[in-house]
Amino acid sequence: MRYLVLLKGTAPGTPPPPELMAAIMQLGEDATAAGALLDTAGLAPSVDSARVTVTGGGALDVVDGPFAETKEMISYALYQVRTKAEATEWTTRFMKLHRDLWPGWEGEAEVHRVFTPAG
């Protein structure tokens, strides 16, 4: 099964520490070597984004960013794993790195199953 992890966060006013970046790279290498990580990338701030909405009456609305949310969507990861628990475990490891190595960082990650033709 594939799972898409979306990361939202707020930076504490300092750049990510080098130790965090090294730990993230190592975790990515570990996940890739395990055959779990298919893709990952950072996302531009919402100032470069747009939101397209369809209302109940069928009207389309397009709004350019930035958006009012306090946490920005900052990255994603795509995993190929056997269970949601595995995707959640990789995500938890990633979030623990941020907690432990970047004081003041706050964020949340959503783990979504991706539907594919195979199920």
Going from N- to C-terminal start, the domains of the chain cover 2-114
What type of residue is 80? Q
Cα separations (Å) of 14 from 83, 102, 115?
A: 35, 9, 37
C-alpha 7 chain-centroid distance: 3
Q: Which residue has the higher pLDDT, 70 or 114?
A: 114
Q: State mean pLDDT over 35-51.
A: 94
Work out the number of other CB atoms within 10 angstroms of the CB of residue 78.
16
Residue 106 and residue 91: Cα distance in Å, rounded?
15
Cα separations (Å) of 10 from 5, 36, 39, 102?
A: 17, 27, 22, 11
Global pTM? 0.90
Q: Is the pLDDT of residue 12 over 90?
A: no
CATH label, 2-114, candidates 3.40.50.300, 3.30.70.1060, 1.10.645.10, 3.40.50.720: 3.30.70.1060
Rounded to the nearest 10 degrees, what angle do helices 84-101 and 18-33 cross at?
A: 160
Write the pLDDT tens digit of every residue in 51-104: 999 998 899 999 999 988 778 999 999 999 999 999 999 999 999 999 999 999
